[in-house]
Amino acid sequence: MSPLYPDIEPYDHGLLDTGDGNLIYWEACGNPAGRPALVLHGGPGSGCSTVARRYFDPDAYRIILFDQRNCGRSLPSAADPEADLSLNTTWHLVADIEQLRTYHRVDSWLLFGNSWGSTLALAYAETHPERVAAIVIAGVTTTRRSEIDWLYRGMAPLFPEEWHRFLQAIPSGMLGQDEDMVAAYHRLLNDPDPATRLKAARDWHDWEAASILLVDPEGLPRRWADPAYLLTRARIITHYFVNGAWLEDGALLKNAARLSGIPGVLLQGRFDIEAPLVSAWELARAWPQSELKIIAQAAHSTSNPDMTAAIVAATDRFRDSRQK
């Protein structure tokens, strides 16, 4: 039996006007009078999913999801080469979360994020700790330079064939001596030629697929079949990573004391190649009110049954907790 709660549909949804030309898609599910919970999707640029609604007891939680700037149903879409991403930074997203909180008249809420969503959850919580009742994060990342370098250089010896293809897809002379793959693909994904952009998006995702297929041969998300989705996601990811997510390197760990008093659960797959366990372990040491749970047979995907069960158990724990 699946540990997920049954499928539900939003009872409300809309577009939040940020005032700077962006419209943020949001939806609310579950119990309108329930405990507020905010879902922060990964990527960056992946968009929210219907599965994320099912991590929460719909009778107990008021579940709010949103597509971060320029992805999913938010406008304008990063798939459009004319979409200006200069107003899409970590701190713009933190401000969007605050605007959503005010719009929905939430005093404080539980944050759930996976992968990039865990970075965003930490950035928001360290900026607005008084607005955070609890945190559940999976596939923990802090988007340090070392984590970005691991994804687009460090993993190369584990996947030599796929790395060779990833490297060879870059036109001759574009890659500098430093072999900064993120910067090279960022340029390709913003090239004026549509065919160049689409090929770069596909090549980017082929590299990401290497680590996913290692642990789950059927694990590629269905959304990856959509060229517009690939363009959106790859363009936003490279935009964030080439800029170090606008975070001082290591800042989220250095500032973990700001999380004092906020209870948290960190869920990490033992075999998570994309986000190795060390980041979650270091965060748990810096944040005494957090509990690190290592999922023995899981990797980075939240669709792993043991990981899914652990997420639901964590949200159930805070549903039943009196901690605020």
Strand order of the sheet with strand 109-114? Answer: 12-17, 23-30, 61-66, 35-40, 109-114, 132-138, 264-269, 290-295
Note the pLDDT of residue 323.
41
CB 152 within 8 A of CB 181: yes
What single-letter DSSP state applies at residue 119? H
Backbone angles phi, psi at 117, to 5 degrees: -60, -25
Note the pLDDT of residue 220.
66
Identity of residue 128: H
Indicate if 20 belongs to the active site: no
Domain 12-146+247-318 has CATH 1.10.20.10: no
Active-site pick, 77, 272, 290, 301: 272
Active-site pick, 46, 115, 118, 279: 115
Structure tokens at 320: 């039943």
CB 28 within 8 A of CB 64: yes
Indicate if 7 belongs to the active site: no
Backbone angles phi, psi at 279, to 5 degrees: -65, -45
DSSP 122-178: HHHHHH-GGGEEEEEEES-----HHHHHIIIIITGGGSHHHHHHHHHTSPTTTS-TT
d(CA 193, CA 253): 40
> pLDDT tens, position by position, for the chain (324 residues)?
689 999 999 999 999 999 999 999 999 999 999 999 999 999 999 999 999 999 999 999 999 999 999 999 999 999 999 999 999 999 999 999 999 999 999 999 999 999 999 999 999 999 999 999 999 999 999 999 999 999 999 999 999 999 999 999 999 877 766 679 999 999 999 999 999 999 999 999 999 988 876 666 566 677 778 999 999 999 999 999 999 999 999 999 999 999 999 999 999 999 999 999 999 999 999 999 999 999 999 999 898 999 999 999 999 999 976 443
CB 94 within 8 A of CB 252: no
Backbone angles phi, psi at 138, to 5 degrees: -125, 150
CB 3 within 8 A of CB 28: no
Indicate if 272 belongs to the active site: yes
Domain spans of the chain? 12-146+247-318, 148-245
Question: Between helices 194-215 and 160-168, what is the axis angle to 10°?
Answer: 170
Which helix or strand (DSSP H or E) is residue 27 part of?
strand 23-30
Question: Between helices 181-189 and 194-215, what is the axis angle to 10°?
Answer: 130
Active-site pick, 239, 290, 300, 301: 300
